[in-house]
């Protein structure tokens, strides 16, 4: 398994594009409509937010993927089309407009939206824009598509990986967006993956659920699980491997590569959390189960007080232990060890649940790095888990105090 270039167009037979059509009214330089199209029919599957308030495009996509096949992905940013008037009708109209332009069927479209909740989707500007969007499709258009799905994201999120299955090189690539309202629950943020691997839609679904659980479901920006989370994959089979239709070595290789891809995209999301100045990695080891370690790590990276302490480069480890304590996991605080670490050093701050003397100025230097590790040992078993988050900053408040204008 190795990383490669090309994002959502890295696998054979996928084109992408992204342009500004006017869903985002404030800035004409910001792309707001993305398209990904496979050269031929694809097995396809998706996982969705567990928020019971689901955006209209998710409901349409669920319908379209019932047959396990799709050809294209259409995504707008700037408007979530959630709790909005005519939501499902407009999501479907956008599929039909793009399908007509490309000579495809509307029900072969995965459709997604991200942006403000509750406002009517300006469907006319999307309908007017699809001709240009289709005309700009290219086999190296991943960047344009990645840019067009950004909202408050500051960085584009692309990744691609390659592995070998039945002697054939297969590639999986994808783009994602994150930033705010990030606390995925089984589904994830918007992430659109493509692969040339031959694999059935059932096995794609299985691999996606599994990958989401070890990647997107292990990050949090603000504890708010979005109405619009979606992780989807199109698989066109052009790699020429024997189709993966069940468990086994081929599935395992595919799944390993997919997990690595999703973890990479998830970490990029956490690092680019709204207003963030730190990527926080929390590793819990010595747990009696992975689930236990995951719940503890996720509680720590979700703690507002811990996030504020990291923003201030303050080694306030009591908040870490406090967040573990209210996580719902039963553990012995008197076995817990905590250290802070970054590229410039490591400082042990808590041993067996009690504070250690440490040099505050050294801790400040360590925590002033962008990437910070909170390393927790439970000393009660052999399982571990890593989760990722970001700090909470003045800019987070600024961005979200007036998001809609």
Among 2, 29, 40, 330, the residue binding a copy of itself under the rule CB under 8 A is 330
The 10 Å Cβ neighbour count of residue 297 is 28
Q: What residues are labeled active site? A: 188
Shortest reach from residue 392's CB to a copy of itself, in Å: 6
369 near a copy of itself, rule: CB under 8 A: no
Q: Which stretch binds a copy of itself (CB under 8 A): 24-32, 69-77, 127-135, 392-400?
A: 392-400
Q: Which stretch binds a copy of itself (CB under 8 A): 66-74, 96-104, 257-265, 318-326?
A: 318-326
Closer residue to a copy of itself (CB): 89 or 249:
89
Binding mask 77-96 for a copy of itself (x = CB under 8 A): ---x-xxxx-----------
Q: Which stretch binds a copy of itself (CB under 8 A): 103-111, 248-256, 380-388, 396-404?
A: 396-404
381 near a copy of itself, rule: CB under 8 A: no
Name which of residues 11 to 70 contact a copy of itself (CB under 8 A): 50-54
Shortest reach from residue 6's CB to a copy of itself, in Å: 34
Residue 404's nearest CA partner among 98, 111, 180 is: 180
312 near a copy of itself, rule: CB under 8 A: yes
Shortest reach from residue 75's CB to a copy of itself, in Å: 18
Among 303, 340, 347, 387, the residue binding a copy of itself under the rule CB under 8 A is 303
361 near a copy of itself, rule: CB under 8 A: no
Name which of residues 218 to 237 contact a copy of itself (CB under 8 A): 222-227
User: How far is it, in rounded angstroms, from Cα 132 to Cα 280?
Assistant: 40
User: How far is it, in rounded angstroms, from Cα 169 to Cα 161?
Assistant: 10
Shortest reach from residue 51's CB to a copy of itself, in Å: 4
Among 143, 245, 322, 362, the residue binding a copy of itself under the rule CB under 8 A is 322
183 near a copy of itself, rule: CB under 8 A: yes
Shortest reach from residue 366's CB to a copy of itself, in Å: 16
Name which of residues 241 to 300 contact a copy of itself (CB under 8 A): none
Residues at the site binding a copy of itself, with contacts judged by CB under 8 A? 50-54, 80, 82-85, 116-120, 180-181, 183, 185, 222-227, 302-305, 308-309, 311-312, 314, 316-319, 321-326, 330-331, 333, 349-350, 353-355, 392-394, 396-405
């Amino acid at each position: 398994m190795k990383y490669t270039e090309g994002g959502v167009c890295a696998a054979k037979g996928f084109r992408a594009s992204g342009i500004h059509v006017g869903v985002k009214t404030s800035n004409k330089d910001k792309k707001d409509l993305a398209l990904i199209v496979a050269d031929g029919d694809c097995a396809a599957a998706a996982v969705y937010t567990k928020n019971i308030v689901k955006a209209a495009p998710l409901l349409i996509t669920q319908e379209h993927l019932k047959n396990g096949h799709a050809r294209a992905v259409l995504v707008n940013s700037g408007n979530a089309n959630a709790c909005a008037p005519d939501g499902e009708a407009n999501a479907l109209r956008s599929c039909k407009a793009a399908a007509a332009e490309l000579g495809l069927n509307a029900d072969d479209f995965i459709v997604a939206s991200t942006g403000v909740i509750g406002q009517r989707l300006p469907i006319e500007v999307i309908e007017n824009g699809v001709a240009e969007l289709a005309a700009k499709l290219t086999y190296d258009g991943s960047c344009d598509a990645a840019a067009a799905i950004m909202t408050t994201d500051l960085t584009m999120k692309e990744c691609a990986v390659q592995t070998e299955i039945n002697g054939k090189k297969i590639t999986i690539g994808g783009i994602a967006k994150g930033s705010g309202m990030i606390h995925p629950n089984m589904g994830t943020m918007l992430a659109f993956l493509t692969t040339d691997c031959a694999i059935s839609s059932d096995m794609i679904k299985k691999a996606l659920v599994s990958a989401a659980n070890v990647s997107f479901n292990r990050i949090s920006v603000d504890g708010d699980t979005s109405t619009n989370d979606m992780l989807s994959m199109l698989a066109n089979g052009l790699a020429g491997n024997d189709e993966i239709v069940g468990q086994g070595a081929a599935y395992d290789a595919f799944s390993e590569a997919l997990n690595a891809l999703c973890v990479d995209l998830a970490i990029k999301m956490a690092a680019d959390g709204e207003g963030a100045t730190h990527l926080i990695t929390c590793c819990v080891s010595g747990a009696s189960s992975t689930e236990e370690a995951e719940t503890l790590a996720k509680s720590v990276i979700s703690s507002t007080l811990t996030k504020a302490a990291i923003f201030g480069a303050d080694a306030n480890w009591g908040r870490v232990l406090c967040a573990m304590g209210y996580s719902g996991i039963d553990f012995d605080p008197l076995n817990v060890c905590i250290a802070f670490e970054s590229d410039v050093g490591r400082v042990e701050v808590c041993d067996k649940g009690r504070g250690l003397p440490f040099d505050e100025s050294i801790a400040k230097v360590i925590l002033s790095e962008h990437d910070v590790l909170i390393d927790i040992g439970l000393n009660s078993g052999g399982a571990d888990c890593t989760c990722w988050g970001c700090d909470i900053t003045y800019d987070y408040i600024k961005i979200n105090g007036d998001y809609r204008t």
